[in-house]
């Protein structure tokens, strides 16, 4: 089970990728996370810690993860504190975007996209590779 407290500072020294997405079980969000799942071996080989995050609750995340077999955790940000701290909060909730954070905790790549589009896996993988 992938439930528990998750803190960025506990991953100091590692590259971390935060995948922000508006909601579980919606068409574009499902495509976004399934694309990541389908290329998981490439992501895994980078050694980066990859997590999805939005404001949906734990039970919704559990169902979504089980239904689609995501190999990465989905984090709960119900109060949108993380989204706000990362400038990923919008009037609709959480923006769709990606942050790649280096081992020192510095955001080295930030991409926010229009809600109906999703960040390119190739672009995310290249951003991770640039830090290695």
Task: Let me know if 86 is a catalytic residue.
Answer: no
Q: Which of 17, 29, 83, 98 is catalytic?
A: 29
75 forms bridges with which residues in the sheet?
A: 53
Give the E-state strand segments of 1-132 in sequence order.
16-20, 49-54, 74-76, 89-90, 93-94, 96-101, 107-113
| Catalytic residue numbers, as ranges | 29
């Amino acid at each position: 089970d992938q439930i528990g407290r998750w803190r960025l500072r506990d991953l100091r020294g590692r590259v971390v990728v935060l995948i922000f997405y508006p909601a579980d079980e919606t068409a574009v969000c499902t495509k976004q996370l399934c694309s990541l799942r389908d290329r998981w071996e490439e992501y895994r080989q980078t050694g980066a810690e990859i997590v999805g995050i939005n404001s949906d609750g734990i039970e919704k995340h559990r169902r979504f993860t089980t239904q689609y077999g995501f190999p990465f955790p989905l984090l709960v940000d119900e109060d949108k504190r993380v989204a706000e701290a990362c400038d990923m909060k919008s009037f609709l909730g959480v923006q769709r975007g990606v942050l790649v954070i280096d081992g020192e905790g510095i955001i080295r790549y930030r991409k926010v996209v229009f809600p109906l589009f999703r960040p390119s896996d190739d672009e995310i993988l290249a951003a991770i590779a640039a830090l290695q």
